[in-house]
């Protein structure tokens, strides 16, 4: 039995509602869930993710049941309950228990106690009129797909034949994928370790393993000893794309810009003998890079600096290879971070695209002739992928676009040679463009 299942559901629902209220107020899901008491956190995260994946429907239902919007704390608790109740066969608890415990959560929250009868009346009416109410909100695209209207419109416009599969993938739970540290063990040997531990898994990609069921990292064999790291299969393509066949003096000089939390940094060091500089603007996140590398027995020069502010970090050393894993909307990792769709605004795209273009412009001159830059974003939007690179190539005559995957879409089998070993559509949404600097 999970420890969080021993905690009263009403306490978890209280915390879940606070998480939802914080996210609707602009906080990231990571920060909102991180503020929850540690004993409650696993259960609250599971509930919060389920709520966020059904929030469009829940808000539409709340509008029908209570046209006059209640206070933010009441609305968050009511929408949390409606999101969970409306999942029907996938609901984590039976309807009676959910209603009873939601009302209990209101009663045990001093500021909500007076609203407990109102919440009870709304939820019981939903149960009585469930079929009619669900049919009514199903006509609303935001409720049907559980994404904001602008996100729906953009996805339909940019991916006219894939948009439904994309949105469905966003609403699914992501699998847990591990990257095997092949400096320490092989994929085949590690799969045997998992089998011995009673964990079902399948090989995925070059050095990946996908678990049948997610597990706490503390229970994953060899994790503490650096045998594996948690990393999505799409992210596992950065190191081989950038370094395979790259020639230069040994060790290759490599820059990982925007490196935190260090997953791709570590993979670059596992993949080849390189001298690596890892940058990130956030000093706390740089500590996470260090911790990850220490666990894996790897070493890099780690610098807390803005990659675009050259005087703050650049020593004059030119690089054979640069990985620019650029700040982006995160539109490709919504299944892992379901809060993203509700936090992003349509105006964010232009701002992020400008930031990406600035980083490309500043870092490109640091690349040696014949060197490579891999531009990557965990985004499915064109402004952060193909449009960005088209503009860059138009402004830089010495940049050559090498064969690269382009947009990898969740819910779609990748069409890139070597990536198309993913028939189960397990990867996140990503964009990769591999650029080479001409020697002339």
Active site residues: 378
Phi, psi of 203 (to 5 degrees): -70, 150
Q: Which two tokens stand for residue 414?
A: 């990748």
Look at the block and give the residue holding tokens 């199903």.
Answer: 138
- 86-115 burial string, b = 16+ CB within 10 Å, else e? bbeeebeeebeebbbbbbbbbbebeebeeb
Pairwise CA distance, residues 327 & 337, whole Å? 15
Pairwise CA distance, residues 266 & 294, whole Å? 10
Q: Which two tokens stand for residue 116?
A: 């407990």
Q: Kindly give the pairing relationship between strand 177-180 and strand 208-211.
A: antiparallel
Q: Under a CB-based contact definition with an 8 Å cutoff, are residues 425 and 170 in contact?
A: no
Q: Under a CB-based contact definition with an 8 Å cutoff, are residues 276 and 269 in contact?
A: yes
- Give ∠ CA 369-375-376 in degrees, rounded to 5: 160
Pairwise CA distance, residues 288 & 304, whole Å? 12
Residue 50, Cβ density class (10 Å: 0-12 exposed, 13-18 middle, ≥19 buried): buried
Phi, psi of 259 (to 5 degrees): -85, -25
Pairwise CA distance, residues 78 & 69, whole Å? 11
Q: Which two tokens stand for residue 9?
A: 């559901």
Per DSSP, the three-state class of 316 is: coil
End-to-end CA distance of the chain: 64
Q: Which two tokens stand for residue 10?
A: 């009403």
| Total residue length of the chain | 440
Half-sphere exposure of 332 (CA within 13 A, CB side): 27
């Amino acid at each position: 039995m999970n420890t969080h299942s021993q905690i009263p559901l009403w306490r978890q629902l209280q915390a879940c509602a606070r998480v939802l209220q914080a996210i609707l107020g602009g906080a990231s899901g990571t920060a909102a869930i991180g503020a929850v008491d540690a004993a409650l956190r696993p259960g609250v995260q599971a509930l919060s993710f389920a709520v966020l994946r059904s929030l469009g429907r829940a808000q539409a239902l709340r509008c029908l049941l209570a046209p006059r919007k209640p206070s933010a704390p009441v609305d968050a608790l009511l929408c949390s309950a409606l999101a969970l109740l409306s999942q029907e066969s996938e609901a984590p608890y039976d309807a009676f228990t959910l209603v009873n415990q939601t009302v209990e959560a209101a009663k045990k929250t001093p500021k909500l106690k007076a609203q407990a009868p109102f919440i009870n009346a709304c939820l019981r009416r939903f149960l009585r009129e469930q079929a009619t109410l669900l049919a009514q909100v199903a006509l609303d695209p935001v409720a049907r797909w559980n994404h904001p209207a602008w996100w729906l419109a953009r996805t339909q416009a940019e991916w006219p034949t894939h948009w439904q599969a994309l949105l469905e993938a966003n609403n699914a739970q992501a699998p847990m994928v591990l990257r095997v540290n092949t400096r320490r063990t092989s994929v085949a040997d590690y799969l045997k370790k998992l089998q011995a531990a009673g964990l079902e898994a399948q090989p995925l990609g070059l050095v990946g393993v996908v678990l049948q069921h997610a597990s706490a990292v503390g229970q994953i064999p060899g994790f503490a000893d650096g045998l594996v790291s948690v990393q999505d299969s799409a992210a596992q393509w950065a190191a081989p794309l950038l370094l395979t066949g790259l020639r230069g003096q040994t060790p290759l000089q490599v820059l990982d810009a925007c490196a935190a939390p260090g997953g791709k940094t570590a993979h670059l060091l596992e993949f080849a003998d390189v001298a690596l500089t890892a940058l990130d603007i956030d000093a706390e996140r740089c500590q996470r890079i260090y911790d990850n590398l220490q666990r894996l027995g790897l070493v890099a020069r780690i610098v807390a600096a803005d990659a675009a502010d050259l005087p703050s970090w650049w020593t004059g050393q030119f690089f054979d290879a640069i990985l620019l894993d650029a700040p982006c909307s995160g539109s490709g990792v919504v299944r892992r971070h379901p809060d993203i769709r509700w936090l992003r605004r349509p105006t964010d795209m232009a701002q992020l695209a400008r930031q990406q273009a600035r980083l490309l412009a500043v870092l490109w001159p640091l690349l040696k002739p014949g060197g490579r830059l891999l531009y990557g974003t965990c985004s499915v939007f064109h402004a952060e992928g193909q449009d960005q690179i088209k503009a860059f190539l138009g402004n830089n005559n010495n940049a050559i676009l090498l064969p690269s995957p382009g947009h990898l879409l969740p819910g779609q089998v990748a069409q890139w040679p070597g990536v198309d070993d993913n028939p189960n559509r397990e990867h996140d949404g990503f964009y990769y463009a591999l650029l080479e600097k001409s020697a002339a």
